[in-house]
Structure 1
Amino acid sequence: MRKYRNIYIVLNLIFSLMLGACSDFLEESSQDETIPTTTTDYSELLMMYMYKTSKYNYNVLYYLDDDLKVNESKLPTGDYIWGPAALIRTFTWQPDMWELENGASPDDGYEYTYTQIMGINAVLDGVGDAVGTQRDRDLIRAEALGLRAFGYFRIVNMFGEPYNYNKKALGVPLKLTAALVENGIARSTVEEVYNQIVADLEEASKLFAKHPKTRGNYRLNGTTVDILLARAYLYMEEYDKAITAATQAIESAEGLSDYTKMSHGEKEFSLARYDLSEVEWLYGRTYIDPSLCPTGELLTGFTAGDKRRDFWFPVDATWVHKQLCPGELGNNSGANTPGNAIRISEAYLTRAEARVLSPTNKDESGALADLNELRRHRIVGYTDETSTTGLLEKIRQERRLELCYEFHRWFDLRRYGMPSISREFKQRQQDQYKIYTLKEKDPMYTLPFPLDIVNKNIQLVQNASAKAPEREGVLK
């Protein structure tokens, strides 16, 4: 492992330069670095950068949307304030949301993502000449491209405007090699970042398609890449391409898991496991503060017989995988939420939405078939939907339910037109609630960059949301 530690040192130096650190930092580099030479070396390096993490790097996305509310039963009652105090700036959409003095702000995900991209770029720069089989070189390159696209997709949707609203707006810096860079990197446009995401995913898909599929080893595979490609095209409103990619994913997958034929007994039902046929890739970790819980609007969306409600939000849970405690379900009740998984159900929902919205290949009957196929695997005694009235709204509601707490909702709200949403907040049980509102097309739908990131990269233009006035709550 010594040589990988030294590689890690070298790549971190590159990353420091990339963010704008001075070139003198190079003087601290190790004198006995070992450069990877084999496909095994590069595979292990990729694994090290992408999967060995215990941080909750994107949990901030949970705290921004309309699927969580304050769980009053879990709030403190005395003078000592805990839990919600660390969330108030984020949960109420404040312009200084990252700048808590005690360091209790949620991770912004930015530096973590670029650290990953740094390692990925080093793999992509060198794996073509690695000693090993062509198959291994193909698969390592395919995985690295898919992972880079996944990272850029997240941060461009956090710090850039929605693609379908203003694709010419500034997105995030686009770094595609591990070469040294001084004085920082300017932001590419949202469109330029998306074009790179699509290019990476398309190449990855072709490389994966050349070799038999592998599933269940915590590595990216071709089906996952096609799910992500369909997602990117949906956001870009390239609906026919989204349909093609989603169909390719569905045809290469093992199929939806039938919840109606499953029971979880005394243990939780977790999506973070490969024995569910629909799970294509598992990654990362998740934690939701127990002072928050699902909104009633989300929970009431699950109809009678829907096993997702039973499995993910059980009334009688005594052992929970995620710290999410829905007060609506009774005192001391726990709940399981979907873990960090990419699942084939997303491809069905992507294809259904794209089939409704495609201007050239509109296919409402096909969209309805996709919706019914998913629901039959979720709802006991389900009767197929036959009406296409309000079909788009039905599909988007199903997406909200099926993909809740999987980092989709905030991004979906952005592409739905950035609607106005409100929430109530207080820090202690005895306090009065204040109502905070995110206005339609609010600047905070594009998050501000943390100040420490701006200070490291002198070319990074800050977003307008950082200069917005303090958001004031109104007493309920």
Structure 2
Amino acid sequence: MKRILYILIPGLLLVNTGCKKFLEEKSQDEMRPSTVQDLSGLMAGEAYPYFVNITSVLNMVTDDVNCVGGQGLPNYEAVVRRGKAPFSWSKHMFEELLTAEGVANLSTLNSWEIIYNRIVGCNVGLEYADKVTGSEKDKANLKAEVLALRAYYYFMLVNMYGKPYNTQGLDPEKSPGVPLKLKMVVTDELFKRNSVAEVYRQIEADIQASISLFQQYPQDKGVYKMSETAGYALLSRVYLYQEKWDLAIEYANKALAKKSVLTQLSTFNSTLYYTYNTTDNSLNVNRIYSPAISKEVIWTYVPNKSVEDDFLKSSLSPAYNRVNVPPYGISPELINLYDSKGFEANETYIGDLRPRIYFNYASYVGVTPPSTLTYFFRGITGGMGGAGIRVAELYLNRAEANIQKFIQTGNDALRTSALNDLNTLRLSRYDSRKPYVQVDITDGTQLLNFYKEERRRELPFDGHRWFDLRRYGMPSISHLYQETAGTAQTFTLSKGDNRYTWPIPQVVLDRNGELTQNP
């Protein structure tokens, strides 16, 4: 089978006219996969998110990133300007990114186009699964994979471009979400936006159908492929966002029944505590997502770090060092949430190991008079997350749902269950050289606030924070922006701001007059 489909299909949803004629001019035999193995190989490139990036912009808009500034270096100042549009929550974010210095191709950052292209790939897989040769088990299992993937993508889209499902005073049945394109067929039809509730129902239907197929035709393809466990985890997340607490708990339980082990960070090579060599060079991702050393991975993919590098930190000279740190980095607010003991090496006890393993650091050696060498570490980039689904999220989802139910009912058993989940997670994250001290909070509101901070500590730069801010009431946050010294600006996102819902790229609106822009 020739992979001409890879060239022709992307953009189908975005350019609704012209593609049909273009496809008809090519030999259909060249485009059709003939076996389920061919189709599976095609899906690896067209449906799975390998080597694409959908989290760079998603991370830039959060309160986990701050702007250090250009530091008097022209190349650094250019990078600051490059990130200004998302960092300032511009209503013309994608148009400004397109013209930003050093951003040659908006399609590497335009999440609408990137994700819909993956959805097109999923629809191709579903269309061809019954047309290729191979066992029913292999074909059904492949369908299950792409159904779960399509649900994941629509979940991302509706939480970028639609209002939060739980927005107070807003009916999700009437609130504009994103268009649902569920067939591969090439058409001149211009798709309208389905409601947020409709999109969520489709997400749920896809995952349920996926789980059913996985159950009927089980295959263990490893953590680089979608699975029944991943489906349960996704449903737990979906129901959490809808504030359907019982269902969020039910599907977290189902996933944890399949896989509940957490990675003990203290078992990582101890040099990680001191050198901050925190990436798996073969994958270029946070080691917590590396199947070779992390036991809690449910599903993982390799994000295109070169895209993020090009967006935020390429062509910088001199290289990052103890003096000139990246223009955008980890916010002090996030760093200060961890109770780790400083950033000096060779301590007898560190505490919370997550900032040392989840973030990238630069180190240098200083001299403390009269002659003692001291090691210093400075966070330089916002982690290497955004690469899948982990068991840790399940403990958090279940804890949040139980806390919310405890606040509603006063049933102390729910509080105890939530604390058990939080302490189980935290125990796996702390330096084992001292006994972990259990958290015990009796007040529901205080416990919920602690939980929110714990979720932020555990899932930084995994693509969760922006969505969490949205469903937690869209609080006011501010970004201090500075290209050079003395040119600081403060950008503020007010509580409930419409900019918590991203603008649809103008290029998409120009191609489809049936779409309406977000306010």
- TM-score scaled by length of structure 2: 0.80
The residue type equivalent to 1:198 in the other structure is E
Worse-matched range after superposition: 61-70 or 94-103: 94-103
Say if 2:329 and 2:381, in contact at 8 Å, map to a contact too.
Answer: no
Residues 132, 254 of structure 1: alpha-carbon distance in 2 compared, 3 angstrom cutoff: farther
Describe the superposition over 1:278-310 as per-residue Cα deviations: whole angstroms up to 9, x where unpaired. Answer: 011211234363311111111111113001122
2:440 & 2:4 partners in 1: Cα distance?
A: 61
Say if 2:44 and 2:50, in contact at 8 Å, map to a contact too.
Answer: no
Describe the superposition over 1:224-256 as per-residue Cα deviations: whole angstroms up to 9, x where unpaired. Answer: 221111001100111111101111111111510
Q: Does 1:307 align with 2:353?
A: yes
Residue number among 59, 65, 75 corresponding to 1:68 in the alignment:
65
What is the CA distance between 1:206 and its match in structure 2?
2.3
Aligned to 1:344: 391
Q: Does 1:268 align with 2:278?
A: yes
Describe the superposition over 1:375-432 as per-residue Cα deviations: whole angstroms up to 9, x where unpaired. Answer: 010123321122232111111111101000000000000000111111100112x233
Aligned to 1:6: 4
What is the CA distance between 1:114 and its match in structure 2?
1.1
Aligned to 1:210: 216
Residues 436, 234 of structure 1: alpha-carbon distance in 2 compared, 3 angstrom cutoff: same
- TM-score scaled by length of structure 1: 0.87
Residues 191, 339 of structure 1: alpha-carbon distance in 2 compared, 3 angstrom cutoff: closer
Once the two structures are superposed, the pairs formed by residues 198-237 of structure 1 within 5 Å of their partners are 198-212=204-218, 214=220, 216=222, 218-237=224-243
Residues 14, 108 of structure 1: alpha-carbon distance in 2 compared, 3 angstrom cutoff: closer
Aligned to 1:437: 492
Say if 1:4 and 1:45, in contact at 8 Å, map to a contact too.
Answer: no
1:314 & 1:443 partners in 2: Cα distance?
A: 33
Aligned to 2:481: 425
What is the CA distance between 1:20 and its match in structure 2?
4.5
Residues 150, 76 of structure 1: alpha-carbon distance in 2 compared, 3 angstrom cutoff: farther
What is the CA distance between 1:15 and its match in structure 2?
4.0
Aligned to 1:356: 403
Aligned to 1:456: 511
2:448 & 2:75 partners in 1: Cα distance?
A: 48
1:35 & 1:333 partners in 2: Cα distance?
A: 46
Aligned to 2:128: 126
Q: Does 1:285 align with 2:304?
A: yes
Q: Does 1:180 align with 2:186?
A: yes
2:132 & 2:332 partners in 1: Cα distance?
A: 54
The residue type equivalent to 1:38 in the other structure is T
Say if 1:240 and 1:361, in contact at 8 Å, map to a contact too.
Answer: no
The residue type equivalent to 1:455 in the other structure is D
DSSP 3-state at the match of 2:166: helix
Percent identity for Structure 1 against Structure 2: 33
Say if 2:68 and 2:482, in contact at 8 Å, map to a contact too.
Answer: no
DSSP 3-state at the match of 2:184: coil
Say if 1:317 and 1:334, in contact at 8 Å, map to a contact too.
Answer: no
Aligned to 2:424: 373
Worse-matched range after superposition: 183-192 or 51-60: 51-60
DSSP 3-state at the match of 1:163: coil
Say if 1:9 and 1:30, in contact at 8 Å, map to a contact too.
Answer: no
What is the CA distance between 1:131 and its match in structure 2?
2.3
Aligned to 1:400: 456
1:240 & 1:32 partners in 2: Cα distance?
A: 49
Describe the superposition over 1:298-334 as per-residue Cα deviations: whole angstroms up to 9, x where unpaired. Answer: 111111300112223465558xxxxxxxxxx756966
1:392 & 1:331 partners in 2: Cα distance?
A: 30
Describe the superposition over 1:186-240 as per-residue Cα deviations: whole angstroms up to 9, x where unpaired. Answer: 1100100011001111121222233556264511122122111100110011111
What is the CA distance between 1:38 and its match in structure 2?
2.4
1:196 & 1:296 partners in 2: Cα distance?
A: 39
Residues 205, 118 of structure 1: alpha-carbon distance in 2 compared, 3 angstrom cutoff: same
DSSP 3-state at the match of 1:297: helix
What is the CA distance between 1:134 and its match in structure 2?
2.4
Residues 78, 148 of structure 1: alpha-carbon distance in 2 compared, 3 angstrom cutoff: closer
DSSP 3-state at the match of 1:164: coil
Worse-matched range after superposition: 230-239 or 252-261: 252-261
Say if 1:218 and 1:281, in contact at 8 Å, map to a contact too.
Answer: yes
Aligned to 1:321: none
Worse-matched range after superposition: 127-136 or 179-188: 127-136
Aligned to 1:473: none
Residues 40, 386 of structure 1: alpha-carbon distance in 2 compared, 3 angstrom cutoff: same
Length, aligned pairs only? 449
1:58 & 1:78 partners in 2: Cα distance?
A: 26
What is the CA distance between 1:442 and its match in structure 2?
0.5
DSSP 3-state at the match of 1:342: strand
Residues 337, 117 of structure 1: alpha-carbon distance in 2 compared, 3 angstrom cutoff: closer
The residue type equivalent to 1:369 in the other structure is N
1:208 & 1:317 partners in 2: Cα distance?
A: 46
What is the CA distance between 1:341 and its match in structure 2?
2.8
What is the CA distance between 1:10 and its match in structure 2?
4.7
Gaps of 5+ in 2: 280-286, 313-325, 341-350, 365-375
The residue type equivalent to 2:460 in the other structure is C
2:37 & 2:128 partners in 1: Cα distance?
A: 12
Gaps of 5+ in 1: 319-328, 465-476
What is the CA distance between 1:24 and its match in structure 2?
4.3
Q: Does 1:382 align with 2:436?
A: yes
Residues 33, 66 of structure 1: alpha-carbon distance in 2 compared, 3 angstrom cutoff: same
Q: Does 1:296 align with 2:357?
A: no
2:72 & 2:48 partners in 1: Cα distance?
A: 35
Residue number among 245, 258, 263 corresponding to 1:239 in the alignment:
245
Residues 32, 431 of structure 1: alpha-carbon distance in 2 compared, 3 angstrom cutoff: farther
The residue type equivalent to 1:174 in the other structure is L
DSSP 3-state at the match of 1:424: strand
